[in-house]
Amino acid sequence: MKRKLVSIVGFFTLLLAISIIIYSVWPWLFLYIGVKTQPNPPHPAITYGEFPFRLEYEINGRRMVINDTLICEYDGVGVDEGQGKYRKWKQRLASGKERVTLLKVDDTTEIYYNPGSPRYYMGDLSESVYFKHNFPDASIIKKDGRFTTDSVIRADLLQKEYNIRLIRWDYTQPIKNSFS
């Protein structure tokens, strides 16, 4: 009798474990299969672009100018659960710099200007998506141990806290791309 009770408890424990695994894995497996079976998005006609820009700003009363080129390249197809399959783009600056840095405050804080996304420049925004440059605002990145925050810093706060004023932003217009 005792042996029969142990085998019944073992059976229900195994059944419970299998149920938990199915309950926690099934939604992710279902999502993975759904996304993988979607067709790939159409390939862009233009896969590479160079977009020169000029940023003029003032820091502590001294006028500064940054001339550089944003280089955008098609990087294949990406997948995520929010948008399914999508065209991936990568970007870099011709100068080799990571960002358009205005001021490196210290090892944890940097003020920079974001020139825009490669999807914008390569004509890959959907009709319902609108892009507007942040000018005359900038961006600030702060590192706190393992955490990094990246946010917009408004022009008035930029002037007040860091004595930086963005004067002029000249950039190359995005291309008109087609996808087939």
Q: Per-residue pLDDT for the chain (180 aa), expressed as one digit of tens each?
A: 556 655 776 777 878 888 888 778 777 777 677 767 788 899 999 999 999 999 999 999 999 999 999 999 999 998 877 778 889 999 999 999 999 999 999 999 999 999 999 999 999 987 777 788 899 999 999 998 899 999 999 999 999 999 999 999 999 999 999 998
pTM of the model: 0.79
127-92-147-88 Cα dihedral, nearest 10 degrees: 40
Q: Name the helix (H) or strand (E) containing 80.
A: strand 62-80
